[in-house]
Amino acid sequence: MGILNLTPDSFSGDGLIRGGDFVEAAAAQARRFAEEGADILDVGGESTRPGSRPVTAEEEMARVIPVIERLAQEVNLPISIDTYKAQVAEVALDVGACLVNDVWGLRMDPDLGPLVAERGVPVILMHNRSRPKDAAQSERLGGRYVGVEYEDLMADLIRELRGSIEGALNAGVEWGKIIVDPGIGFGKTVEQNLEILRRLGELRVLGRPILLGTSRKSVIGYTLDLPPEERVEGTGATVALGIASGADIIRAHDVRETVRVARMTDAIVRPPLDSS
């Protein structure tokens, strides 16, 4: 899943709204991602970095809708809309998106679950305990969360993801259309993120495909003492170990490098079935 950040303030430094024709910039990046082996394009218009400023649905749509319309015409890949707002998701689905990626796991907007059910599209339910008071900033390494407490990290994570799954099912979403994401970096400290990555396989108890999004995140930056643009090798390590633990979808900024890591890891841990 290749990331298209239509924001001016992305934590990773890859926000496409920095002056100029952002629609053309996004289309060029999407074409490059397709050539590099991406399977899905994830389009988002609101930064989710620690301490980021929320945007209105109108502002978010002004960023993402023209891009999704363009990509639907030019790039032969499924498009995901990264939003927790039903109003944004509805228009995005109208113009060409076919998957909803909700960083709040259907807990923020009560209208999003019924919309996903009505449209019959897949939905990614992410675990999220982000609170502004827990966010800390470093000029060089960016934002991270500190002092976030869990009674039992993996048990709490699984219980809360199960709650999101139940909410989706209650809204009419089909079981086979649900994907889960542990939410690396969202309301977890560096140490907690490392523990989740170490124990990622435990999420398989949920019985749903797992999306892993570690690309350039602060857990890598603070572990290796590196800024976002120098985190590709650290990202690769998390991707390889994540796939070995059962991750099915990898969300990434550096598509070419991540595709190579994923394909090599697949060759080792998920060899093709013997057709003979």
The catalytic residue positions are 217, 251
Q: How many other β-carbons are positioned within 10 Å of the β-carbon of residue 204?
A: 14
Question: Residue 134's closest CA among 210, 216, 218, 198?
Answer: 218
- Which residues touch 50 (CB under 8 Å, ≥6 apart)? 11, 130, 134, 135, 136, 137, 142, 143, 144, 145, 185, 218
CB 65 within 8 A of CB 86: no
CB 95 within 8 A of CB 69: yes
Ramachandran area for residue 216 (φ above 0: left; ψ -120 to 50: alpha; else beta): left
Q: How far is CA 119 from the centre of its chain?
A: 21
